[in-house]
């Protein structure tokens, strides 16, 4: 696992959302990640509540950043290229897409 900052996590999940938008067959053939992701978040929060409640605010912020990044990435076709470059962890990807 990597030790990403909240901003890096947002950008990473933005890129994943873009990939799922560009490669729609992945979601069509393998299903959407929301169900499994929701189960993971609930189990993470339940664990933290019992074992490390002081980490709940951080976990909430990180989860929100991931979710918003992913959803925005899925809608990247409606964003200007300059914004996509700022939101992406891999800016070079957008240079090829002009």
Tokens representing residue 57 in the block: 């605010």
Greatest distance between any 2 Cα atoms in the chain: 49
Helical spans, DSSP H, in the chain: 6-22, 24-30, 34-51, 56-74, 81-87, 91-95
What is the model's pLDDT at position 88? 97
Q: Would you say 71 and 57 are in contact if contact means Cβ atoms under 8 Å apart?
A: no
Rg (CA), the chain: 15
Write out pLDDT tens, residues 20-46. Answer: 998 888 878 887 777 788 899 999 999
Of 38 and 5, the structure prediction assigns the larger pLDDT to 5
Closest CA to 69 of 51, 54, 87, 47: 87
Give the C-alpha separation, 16 to 69, whole Å: 9
Nearest-angstrom CA–CA distance, 64 and 68: 6
| Mean per-residue pLDDT over the chain, rounded | 91
The pLDDT of residue 98: 54
Neighbours of 31 (CB within 10 A): 10
Tell me what pLDDT residue 70 has.
95
* pLDDT attached to residue 1: 60
Give domain limits for the chain.
6-92
pLDDT digits (tens, 9 = 90+) for 44-73: 999 999 999 999 999 999 999 999 999 999
- pTM to 2 decimal places: 0.86
């Amino acid at each position: 696992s990597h030790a990403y900052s909240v901003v890096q996590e947002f950008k990473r999940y933005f890129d994943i959302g873009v990939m799922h938008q560009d490669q729609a067959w992945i979601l069509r053939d393998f299903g959407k990640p929301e169900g499994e992701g929701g189960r993971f978040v609930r189990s993470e929060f339940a664990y933290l509540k019992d074992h490390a409640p002081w980490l709940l605010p951080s976990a909430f912020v990180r989860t929100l950043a991931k979710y918003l990044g992913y959803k925005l990435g899925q809608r990247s076709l409606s964003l200007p290229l300059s914004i996509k470059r700022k939101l992406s962890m891999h800016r070079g990807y957008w240079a090829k897409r002009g």
